[in-house]
Amino acid sequence: MATLDSYVLMALVVIPFVGGLALAFFPGESRRAIRGFSALVGLVVFALTIYVFLRYDSDLGGYQFIREYGWLDSLGVAFSLGVDGISVPMVLLTGIVLFTGVLISWNIQVRTKDFFVLYLLLVAGVFGVFVSLDLFFFFFFYELAVLPMYILIGVWGSSTDFGTFNRPKEYGAMKLMLFLTAGSVLVWVAILAVYVESGLGTFSLLALEDVTFSDGFQRVFFPLFMVGFGVLAGLWPFHTWSPDGHVAAPTAVSMVHAGVLMKLGAYGIIRVGLDLLPGGAQDWMPLLLGMATVNVVYGAISAMGQTDLKYMIGYSSVSHMGYVLMGFATLNSVGMGGAVLQMFSHGIMTALMFAAVGALYDRAHVRDIGVLEGLTKRMPVVAIFFVLAGLTSIGLPGLSGFVAEVMVFLGVFQDYPVVGILAVVGAGITAVYILRMLAKVFFGTITPRWEHLTDATRVEGFAMGVLLLFLLVVGLYPRPWMDLINSGVAPLLERVVGL
């Protein structure tokens, strides 16, 4: 297995990328072959991510599976790869969502080939970010993960008609693209500043980690990372692209986007921001905590006011990402560990929710909560998954959301009891809107309009089952996950505490 160990991270980036390119040469009309091939790529990559997860040694900790390939010496750029206890769960999350996303997109009819090509390229970019240990490539893949979104949303997405006004999908696509690139403007400037200030002439994260930047420098440039990556993480007040983008996107893209892409932003804040500028992080974390609290409460209140199912989930993502950022801001091991677990848990949960909504919307062609009623009769499978995803989101014990959120709460209460209360209030509001929506849409008497609806197909059911499996596994036996995550969080905190 030694050879597999040295190439597995490379393979995670290369296989979806090459798979996507190879797919471009398939004849456009053979849809079965196209989706079969995509599912195969998804399955192989999924298997590899499970391998990385099982093979990573939490007792040893640190970066593992390290490889380095020279790329551009004169600029100090090397393609260096490695994962630690924080990135391994993210890699697994990406594998799960990639595979289930392909299955959920089984019935894409329009330009099937182009869809899967772009989808695989998108996922290659996401893997690239999670495994890169070089700032150039980190940023390279970070941008790459945003690039296909525009076309994916614009071509395969759906517009929302609110009666009085219309939100065309092109609007959602453009807004998302501009917000995210605006965030990366800040990130890019900060990366170059770090490069110049270090005087090392290298973009290697491992080398830059050893540099202690001056207090003034850290204080000026940490906010650039915080806000720049924060845009993608849905940080209030830069979150407005996220509901619009998620709603306009086709199901699988919403899954990847809310499930994985938003985690890229959160991941960037700690992997680059906190890791390189721990002093700056310490100075600015109270502000981040404040913004994240607004995320939690305001996101939940906004979700409560939505009439469109997807918008509700979109705002609920904003609210849940608030817990992640809040956990980071505590700068203690319980809170941060909970935050990383929340990234994983929320990724799976929101993917499951979007998958269920997608299955529903494909059949009903409506997402208006006011109109949908009593669907359990006709769609029992979709209903079960939706209800379980909803319960995870509320934080029902036995499901992964509970563990993650409780840890974040504990972490926050240690230093900021007031914020802790607000965080719990946010969870309460979440329970209100989720339960109210579930009751309205799935229970009660069915209206004749929905009598013709059919349930999820076997493929869709399988995909949602895979997602649910992970929610249960983490919820029932979180210990190995926490060991893994803590092995990644501990060295980061040492850097902060060591100041």
Partner 1 sequence: MNYLLFLPELALAALAFGVLVIDLFLPRERKGYLPWVSLVGLAGVLALSLRYLWGKDTNLYGGLFLVDSFSLFFKAFFLVMGGLVVLSSMEYVKRHLSHPGEYYGILLLSILAMMLMTSSGELLTAYISLELLSFSLYVLVSFARGDPKSNEAGLKYILLGAFASALLLYGISHVYGMLGTTGFTEISAALLLEETPLNPAVLLGLALIVAGLGFKMAAAPFHMWAPDVYEGAPTPVTAYLAVGVKAAVFALVLRLFSQAFMPAIEEWQVILAILAALTMTVGNLVAIAQSNIKRMLAYSSIGQVGYLLMGVAALSPMASDGVMLHLLGYGISNLAAFLGVILYYNVTGKENIADYAGLADRSPFLAMAMSVALFSLAGLPFFAGFTTKFYLFTAAAEGGFLWLVGLAITNSLISLYYYLIVIKQMYMVPASDKSALKVSLIGGGVLGVLVLGIFLVGVYPAPLVDAIQGATGAILP
| Residue 14 binds partner 1, judged by CB under 8 A | no
| Residue 192 binds partner 1, judged by CB under 8 A | yes
118, 141 contact by CB (below 8 A): no
The DSSP symbol for 202 reads -
Of 324, 352, 141, give the one whose Cα is nearest residue 230.
324
Pick one of 99, 127, 130, 136: the residue that binds partner 1 (CB under 8 A).
136
Indicate the residue among 135 and 356 with the shorter CB distance to partner 1.
135
d(CA 94, CA 59): 24
Pick one of 189, 294, 371, 490: the residue that binds partner 1 (CB under 8 A).
189
Indicate the residue among 147 and 366 with the shorter CB distance to partner 1.
147
d(CA 171, CA 354): 20
| Residues 147-176 interacting with partner 1 (rule: CB under 8 A) | 147, 150-151, 154-155, 170, 174
Q: Cα dihedral angle (394, 395, 399, 400), rounded to 10 degrees?
A: 110
| Residue 182 binds partner 1, judged by CB under 8 A | yes
Q: Which stretch binds partner 1 (CB under 8 A): 60-68, 137-145, 264-272, 413-421?
A: 137-145
Write down the least CB distance from residue 121 to partner 1, Å: 8
**Residue with the two structure tokens 């799960």:** 96
d(CA 225, CA 266): 10
| H-helix segments, 168-239 | 169-198, 205-209, 215-233
The burial class, CB within 10 Å (0-12 / 13-18 / 19+), for 216 is exposed
List own/partner pairs for 70-78 with CB under 8 A and 24 or more apart: 71/136, 71/137, 75/136, 75/203, 76/195, 76/200, 76/201, 76/202, 76/203, 76/204, 77/134, 77/136, 77/137, 77/202, 77/203, 78/134, 78/204
Q: Which stretch binds partner 1 (CB under 8 A): 35-43, 191-199, 270-278, 279-287?
A: 191-199
Indicate the residue among 75 and 499 with the shorter CB distance to partner 1.
75
Indicate the residue among 173 and 464 with the shorter CB distance to partner 1.
173
Q: What is the number of residues in the chain? A: 499
Indicate the residue among 11 and 220 with the shorter CB distance to partner 1.
220
Pick one of 14, 43, 193, 432: the residue that binds partner 1 (CB under 8 A).
193
Q: Using CB under 8 A as the criterion, what x/- string covers residues 67-86 for binding partner 1? A: ---xxxxxx-----------
User: How far does CA 403 lie from the centroid of its chain?
Assistant: 18
Q: Which stretch binds partner 1 (CB under 8 A): 56-64, 185-193, 279-287, 365-373?
A: 185-193
Indicate the residue among 264 and 437 with the shorter CB distance to partner 1.
264
| Residues 213-232 interacting with partner 1 (rule: CB under 8 A) | none
Indicate the residue among 73 and 161 with the shorter CB distance to partner 1.
73
| Residue 63 binds partner 1, judged by CB under 8 A | no
Indicate the residue among 54 and 192 with the shorter CB distance to partner 1.
192
Q: Using CB under 8 A as the criterion, what x/- string covers residues 347-376 for binding partner 1? A: ------------------------------
| Residue 118 binds partner 1, judged by CB under 8 A | no
400, 345 contact by CB (below 8 A): yes
| H-helix segments, 240-399 | 241-248, 251-256, 262-268, 275-276, 278-304, 309-330, 333-364, 380-394
Write down the least CB distance from residue 136 to partner 1, Å: 7
Number of residues near partner 1 (by CB under 8 A): 30
50, 61 contact by CB (below 8 A): no
Write down the least CB distance from residue 15 to partner 1, Å: 16
d(CA 219, CA 66): 31
Indicate the residue among 151 and 453 with the shorter CB distance to partner 1.
151
Indicate the residue among 50 and 189 with the shorter CB distance to partner 1.
189
Write down the least CB distance from residue 198 to partner 1, Å: 11
d(CA 315, CA 300): 7
110, 31 contact by CB (below 8 A): no
Write down the least CB distance from residue 80 to partner 1, Å: 15
Positions in the binding site for partner 1 (CB under 8 A): 70-75, 136, 139-141, 143-144, 147, 150-151, 154-155, 170, 174, 177-178, 181-182, 185, 188-189, 192-193, 195-196
